[in-house]
Structure 1
Amino acid sequence: MSSARTSHHGTDPKSGGASSVAPGDVLIRFEDVRKEFRNQTVAVTDLDLEVRKGELLVLVGPSGCGKSTTLRMVNRLVEPTGGRITLDGEDIMSTDAVALRRRVGYVIQHVGLFPHRTVAQNVATVPGLVGWDRKRTKARVEELLALVGLAPETYSKRFPHELSGGERQRVGVARALAVDPPVLLMDEPFGAVDPEGRRRLQSEFRRIQSELGTTVMLVTHDIDEAVQLGDRVAVFSKGGVIEQIDTPLRLLSQPANDFVENFIGSGRSMRMLGLGHVSRDDLRPLEHVHPGATLASIPLGTSLDEAFAELAVSETGGVLVTDGSETVGLLTADDLLASLRRLVAEDHRDAVAG
């Protein structure tokens, strides 16, 4: 059957399911948090939000809605005016700000690599600050460069100006993960990369995050990026108000209000298709293929939106699905629609089951 990422806890469109989450499952908690700047601009008003251990939570919304301010309050680059933020049960205001920032990875759009330092030296920045020895640091740098897809023997001695935008962003991620922080904050991390490179980076980063189990808060203005990357997505309106926080599928299939629906915009069905993949459960037996029919083929695991594109140009209304050199079944438009319905139903059941 097709699959998509789903939360393991029930959700409430506005609260994010806080009531159904065990305290030990929460890494970051915002309690009645407010941020008002000196010019009396209120960026965030009475925010309650829980970030669960191991999840990738995306904050999305229009410009000026307080999502980046919310993110930066976690590592005290912006300090809250009121309320309380805890990291693993500890009030962040009771922690030295510099020590806190060394524990929290931070990645921004334009990376901020030191131009006069090599790739290896950039990645080694925080290990050096916290007193790691040279051998341990070198091993960690090589491990991380390999993890983000940059061969250490090729990239270690290069300088930032010798890298592409996507490569610099990968180095930025490696640097942020250097001391295995419990949480990684990312503010428009892929915004400066070209569209093709951005898609590759998103896919690669999702693999890394799943592999490491790092808790991630990511800010973006791009709803497509939000639903592709997030375990949950929080849609903000002005003043840091959460209009809905939910799994990508529930967000797309059941917008909580007009604001969310308008922000998502058109194309909700195609976005939902992008969250599922063709599996054996979706297929008809090969005896359903008409003798003599010439059909295009797609591999098992193809995203449902790519499968839809193939079906749209199929003269017979179906495509063959292969697993390596073996043809394993037939997919039709009816099968694809049924797969999408199952995908939404499963996501809803998971949320209700909590």
Structure 2
Amino acid sequence: MPSSAEPLIRFEGTAKTYPDGTVAVGDLDLDVREHELLTLVGPSGSGKSTLLRMVNRLVEPTAGRVLVDGRDVATQDPVLLRRGIGYVIQDIGLFPHRTVAQNVATVPGLLGWDRRRTQDRVAELLRLVGLDPTVHGPRYPHELSGGQRQRVGVARALAANPRVMLMDEPFGAVDPEGRRALQEEFSRIHDELGTTVLFVTHDIDEAVLLGDRVAVFSQGGRLEQVDSPIRVLTRPASPFVEKFIGASSAVRLLSLTTLSPADLTPGSAPAPARALRVGDSLEEAFAALATSPDGVVAVDGDDGAPAGTLTLAGLHAALRRSVREEAAAPA
């Protein structure tokens, strides 16, 4: 849910060069809008994590500034700054000898919240990330699956209502099925809370699935393109972006586009095993068509009444419609 207001995070001529001469980030200008989820994607060595860590001063820039809500982070106490910014990493960093509830309560405790307020917030957040407070709250991290631990990490990062969340490959160590579930869950949470998120990934599929916008980086922290997911996939701004996306960009569009009544053919399908609904993703539609013996799938409207049928031709038309609409939209 990007905002048109002033950016919440701004990188102004930001650069990071290490003493051995390695350029991690080079002269970057980038605005992050309030409420948006901006994914940072690129190969290893493209400066994504370095850029992220400059926001909470785990890494200091060698040139330029990083502003959060109009204030240069270099002028702020790093401890206080970090307490107001959620941070989630791949290995989670949960305290092994503290329960799930105690882990989530870490920042509220540092901020001096009273016991009742903290308990209520912990329970609220565990439910938000799909965990039962009474079941999972008393457990220790080693008693949870990898996906559950990542959910606890997200809950802990959200505990003090941060306006900004930094996420560095947060789902990278989770198996593919669990990773997709976490992606869908986090997308729902972001839609609900509207927190401004910088999300680092090396996976272009994850970047376009989650991001309101996608920032593509090449070696040396060079920003090649920042744009909507569909524009990045269909209108790459450089040969690097085109190569990085690869040949399967059209398939990725399936997860970004939803069915509309305009994509349907009037009529009904014979006794389908399942029916789609207007608003379902084209990825779901493709899966349904792939298992349909006659290549026709019934589609219901929002009210549950039959709205028509979808064929492969309709699926293709929906994909083309999405690309045309995105191309016509203002940048």
Distance 1:26 1:103 in 2: 17
Q: Greater RCO between the two (CA within 8 Å, min separation 6)? A: 1
Residue identity in the other structure for 1:115: P
Which residue does the alignment assign to 1:286?
A: 267
The answer to whether the aligner puts 1:342 opposite 2:324 as a matched pair is: no
Residue 66 of structure 1 is matched in structure 2 by: 47
| Aligned-partner Cα distance in 1 for 2:295–2:86 | 49
CA distance in 2, matches of 1:204, 1:309: 21
Equivalent pair of 2:15/2:61 in contact (CA under 8 Å): yes
Alignment-derived partner of residue 153 in structure 2: 172
In the alignment, which of 76, 96, 114 is matched to residue 77 of structure 2?
96
Q: How does 1:126-165 map to 2 (within 5 A)?
A: 126-165=107-146
Paired residue type of 2:322: L
Give secondary structure in 1 for the equivalent of 2:113. Answer: coil
- Residue of structure 2 in register with 1:12 after alignment: none
For 2:230, what is the secondary structure of its paired residue? helix
Q: How does 1:1-354 map to 2 (within 5 A)?
A: 24-286=5-267, 297-300=274-277, 301-312=279-290, 314-322=292-300, 326-352=305-331
RMSD: 1.8
Unaligned runs of 5+ in 1: 9-20
TM-score of the pair, normalised by structure 2? 0.94
The DSSP-based 3-state class of the residue aligned with 1:274 is helix
Change (3 A) 1:159 1:315: closer
State the 1:328 CA deviation. Answer: 2.6
Q: 1:97 to 1:342 in 2, by over 3 A?
A: same
Q: Give the length in aligned residue pairs.
A: 329
What SS does structure 1 have at the residue aligned with 2:32? Answer: strand
Kept after mapping to 1: 8 A contact 2:32/2:38: yes
Letter in 1 for 2:211: G
- Does the 8 Å CA contact 2:56/2:85 hold for their aligned counterparts? yes
Amino acid at match of 2:253: M
Contact 1:296–1:310 (8 Å) recurs in 2? no
Q: Is the 8 A contact 2:276 2:297 kept in 1?
A: no
Distance (whole Å) between structure 2 residues aligned to residue 281 and residue 152 of structure 1: 44
2:326 partner amino acid: D
Segments of 5+ residues of structure 2 without an aligned counterpart are none
Name the aligned partner's letter for residue 307 of structure 1: A
